Structure 1
Amino acid sequence: MADDFGFSSFSNGAEAEEDPAAAFLAQQQSEIAGIESEADGLGPSGDAFGEAPAAAVNGDMFEDSNGVTDSYAAIAQVDQLRQEPESLRKWREEQKTRLEELDSASKAAEVEWKEKAKKELVDWNLHQQEQMEKNKVNNRASEDAFLKECDDDSPGSEWEKVARLCDFNPKTSRQTKDVSRMRSVLISLKQTPLVR
């Protein structure tokens, strides 16, 4: 029966249509029942993936018959129960042995490098000690010679002392201060001494 706007009114009789949500749920339940009947005998719990039935939803804590108390641990346990292909298992074993060999080789090389470094450090210290002893001997000898020259008061040797202290070679004085003016003054004084 239609009302003023052209819509038919629903009655509770045989003309009533089915609820679409209820029809969808019924269809899904029948499909799930078909899948469960096909999967019988495939896994330890009867489902297609071999997973244990979940006793908790949204990560809640539960205790399984195997003693697992966490949903993530249950998933990890299921992953371990599944068999991986033979080629992957073989590759993992080879990779593990290869990594162990590399690790042991690197540790041996590290020990060898440490021993070599210790030896080089000892050699360097010995070389430095010898060099310091040589420098001490040379410095003492040069100091004694310098003091002997300073104490020498023989007449006429003053200019030789000054000449030894001044570097008159212009090639060697490139990197030092310019002492050309002082050199020229000393040479002129040597040639014509001051008269007092």
Structure 2
Amino acid sequence: MDDFDMLNAPAAGNGVGSEEDPAAAFLAQQESEIAGIENDEGFSILDSGEVPSSLTDSNGGNGPSDAYAAISNADRLQAEPESLRKWREEQRDRLELLDDNSRKQESEWKEKAKVELEEWHARQNEQLEKTKTNNRAAEEAMVSDLDENNPGTEWERVARLCDFNPKSSKQAKDVSRMRSVLISLKQSPLVR
């Protein structure tokens, strides 16, 4: 007998090794449990009661066993805890509600923008029509003034065409120099 066989042999009457080896007992227990898992015919993980094909021995007993693959598949196929499933459902419901709200808000914004754009176009068209009407009236007045070519009324016509009001906010350019030149010409006309 070699040294290793002596450890596994039943103890002689001297009391040394009279207890069972705990490591060997543990290994034997694990092997029997794994064998029980592999050979358990009533083992069902799926809700339908079927044993997943990944847990059945597909290689006919040849080669290494898929005990670890079977255990990992069993872990993955087990139902998740109730609290986690409830949280996932609540989270999904919350996200769906947020998506619905954002879709509603987007459609409301689109409708509001559409209405505002239509109102803006209406105001622009109204302003354009007013400007056209004012320009036509001013053009007709200018043409009628051109037809009345009375001598001595030249400066009145110039004054009507030029805005000599210094407080006028319509003009962005400084026309004070042109205004002063026209006023000086009116007061002392050029002699030919």
Query: Is contact 2:155–2:186 with CA below 8 Å preserved after alignment?
Result: yes
Q: 1:131 to 1:75 in 2, by over 3 A?
A: farther
Higher RCO structure, 1 or 2 (CA under 8 Å, sep 6+) = 2
Q: Which residue of 2 aligns with 1:137?
A: 133
Q: Which residue of 2 aligns with 1:161?
A: 157
Query: Deviations along 1:21-66, whole A, 9 cap, x unmatched?
Result: xxxxxxxx9986553324555x5777xxx9837979xxxxxxxxxx
Correspondences of 1:34-49 after superposition (within 5 Å): 34-39=29-34, 41=36
Q: How many residues align?
A: 153
- Do residues 93 (structure 1) and 89 (structure 2) align? yes
Residue by residue over 1:9-31, the C-alpha shift from the partner in whole angstroms, topping out at 9 and shown as x without a partner, is xxxxx9xxx9xxxxxxxxxx998
TM-score (norm 2): 0.58
Q: TM-score, normalised by structure 1?
A: 0.57
CA change 1:102–1:184 in 2 (3 A) is: closer
Percent identity, aligned pairs only? 54
Q: Within 5 Å, give how 1:18-167 maps onto structure 2.
A: 34-39=29-34, 41=36, 52=55, 78=74, 80-167=76-163
Task: State the 1:140 CA deviation.
Answer: 0.6
For structure 1, the residue ranges without an aligned partner over 5 or more in a row are: 1-13, 19-28, 57-70
How far apart are residue 158 of structure 1 and its match? 0.8
Q: Within 2, Cα distance between the matches of 1:45 and 1:103?
A: 49
Stretches of structure 2 that go unaligned for 5 or more consecutive residues are: 5-23, 46-53, 60-68
Please state if 1:191 is matched with 2:187.
yes
**Alpha-carbon distance, 1:95 to partner:** 0.7
